[in-house]
C-alpha cells in the first residue's frame, strides 16, 4: 500500500495537470478564493439538512453559558457562509472570523435571515493569528469544518484558548482521517494533493482529535460520526465540545 499511494497520486496529478499548473503559476488561488464561497453555500445547505438535529443538540448548550444579561459573546471561527447561525439561541453576540473576504456578502445574507442574533463584526484573519480579539473576550468559540484547512491546528487551538474566558467552551465539528490501514484512508492519501487545491487547502487525513486532546482544555467531549457524503473523499467526523 505504501508503494501504491505515490503511484496513484501521480496518476491523479496527471489527470488534473491543468489545475496543478495553474496553482504553480499562482493563477489558481485567487480563482479558488472567489468560487469557494459559492461551493460552500451549496454543500453547507446539504450538510445542514443531514445534521440539523445533531447541530441543534450541540448548540443548545450555549444557553447554559449565558449570564444574568442573557447574552453570550460568540466567535465563529472560519465562519464561511454563516451556515450555523440558524442553530444559535437568541442572545448571541456573534463575531465572525475568516481569512477569505469573499464570504462577507454571504454572512450579510445569513445575518438578515437570523434576526435573533446580534452581529458584531467580520474579522478577516487566519485562525492562527487572532490578535484583533482580546484575551478572554469570548464565552463561546464555534469551529466547524475549519481545522482541516488551517496551516497549524495547534496554533489555532492556542489562539482559541487565549480568546476564551475561563470556563468558556469551544464547540467543534470536524472531518478527520479514515482509520489507519484502511482502503478508505489510502484513497484519501491518493487524492489529498489535488483535493487541497479544490477545497481551498482542505486536508483529508488530519487526526484532529489528537490536536484537541493535546490542546490543554480542562475537559474534552467528542463523538465520532460516519461520513456525510459517500461520493466525497471526506471521511468521518468528530463532534463535541472542549472547556477551557
Q: Pairing relation of β-strands 237-243 and 164-175?
A: antiparallel
**Computed over its alpha carbons, how large is the radius of gyration of the chain?**
18
pLDDT at 81 > cutoff 70:
yes
Distance from C-alpha of 146 to C-alpha of 168, rounded to nearest angstrom:
19
> What is the CATH number that goes with domain 3-243?
3.40.50.150
pLDDT at 1 > cutoff 70:
no
Stretch 200-222: mean pLDDT: 96
The C-alpha cell that represents 124 in the structure block: 478577516
The answer to whether the beta carbons of residues 190 and 217 sit under 8 Å apart is no
Secondary structure element (H or E) that encloses residue 134, with its range: none
pLDDT tens for 228-243 read: 888 889 999 999 999 9
Distance from C-alpha of 76 to C-alpha of 83, rounded to nearest angstrom:
10
Strand partners, 188: none
Nearest alpha-carbon partner for 40 in 79, 76, 81 = 81
Model's pTM, two decimal places? 0.93
Distance from C-alpha of 132 to C-alpha of 107, rounded to nearest angstrom:
19
Q: At what angle do helices 4-15 and 183-198 cross, to 10 degrees?
A: 30
* Residue 151 φ/ψ, nearest 5 degrees: -70, -40
Lowest model confidence (mean pLDDT) among 25-39, 112-126, 137-151: 25-39
pLDDT tens for 136-193 read: 999 999 999 999 999 999 999 999 999 999 999 999 999 999 999 999 999 999 999 9
CB within 8 Å of 14: residues ≥ 6 apart = none
pLDDT at 23 > cutoff 70:
yes
Amino acid at each position: 500500500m505504501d508503494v501504491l499511494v505515490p503511484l496513484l497520486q501521480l496518476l491523479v496529478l496527471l489527470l488534473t495537470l491543468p489545475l496543478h499548473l495553474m496553482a504553480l503559476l499562482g493563477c489558481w488561488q485567487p480563482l479558488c478564493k472567489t468560487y469557494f464561497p459559492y461551493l460552500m453555500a451549496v454543500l453547507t445547505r446539504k450538510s445542514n439538512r443531514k445534521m440539523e438535529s445533531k447541530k441543534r443538540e450541540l448548540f443548545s448548550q450555549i444557553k447554559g453559558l449565558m449570564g444574568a444579561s442573557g447574552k453570550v459573546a460568540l466567535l465563529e471561527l472560519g465562519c464561511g457562509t454563516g451556515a450555523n447561525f440558524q442553530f444559535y439561541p437568541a442572545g448571541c453576540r456573534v463575531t465572525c472570523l475568516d481569512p477569505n473576504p469573499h464570504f462577507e456578502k454571504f454572512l450579510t445574507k445569513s445575518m438578515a435571515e437570523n434576526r435573533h442574533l446580534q452581529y458584531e463584526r467580520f474579522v478577516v484573519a487566519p485562525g492562527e493569528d487572532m490578535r484583533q480579539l482580546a484575551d478572554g473576550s469570548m464565552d463561546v468559540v464555534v469551529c466547524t469544518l475549519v481545522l482541516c484547512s488551517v496551516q497549524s491546528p495547534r496554533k489555532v487551538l492556542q489562539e482559541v484558548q487565549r480568546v476564551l474566558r475561563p470556563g468558556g467552551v469551544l464547540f467543534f465539528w470536524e472531518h478527520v482521517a479514515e482509520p489507519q490501514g484502511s482502503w478508505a484512508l489510502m484513497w484519501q492519501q491518493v487524492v489529498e494533493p489535488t483535493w487541497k487545491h479544490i477545497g481551498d487547502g482542505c486536508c483529508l487525513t488530519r487526526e484532529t482529535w489528537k490536536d484537541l486532546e493535546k490542546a490543554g482544555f480542562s475537559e474534552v467531549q467528542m463523538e465520532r460520526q460516519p461520513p456525510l457524503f459517500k461520493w466525497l473523499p471526506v471521511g468521518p467526523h468528530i463532534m463535541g465540545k472542549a472547556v477551557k
